[in-house]
Amino acid sequence: MIANYKNAAGHEIGTKMNYSKLDYRMNAQLVGKVDLGDHSLGMKLYSTGVANFLFGWKQNSATTVHIGTELNLTDFAKGKLTKCPLAFQFDVNY
């Protein structure tokens, strides 16, 4: 099952749910994106407890910077943080 909604301002939210007959398990994702013109915020939550966060910033008409991370929220709720990787992406379009 997939559901997605996007309004005129560019804000978007969606879900994706799959049922596996092999291991009798439901897998789900929740995705949200807010577009604020020169920058955007995004997140993706998985039913496994993993969360991805993204910040994008359009510096001018040719360059864009993205910074993202991935956290395991089940570990975070237990009071520990095993890893917090950061991803940097710098795009130049001309």
> What contacts 86, CB < 8 A, 6 or more positions away?
67, 68, 69
- Residue 75, pLDDT > 90, answer no
Q: How confident is the model at residue 1 (pLDDT cuts 50, 70, 90)?
A: low
Question: Is the model's pLDDT at 21 over the cut of 90?
Answer: no
Q: What is the pTM of this model?
A: 0.77
pLDDT range class, residue 35, cuts 50, 70, 90: confident
Q: Over range 76-94, report the average pLDDT.
A: 87
| pLDDT surpasses 80 at 10 | no
Average pLDDT of the segment spanning 29-43 = 90
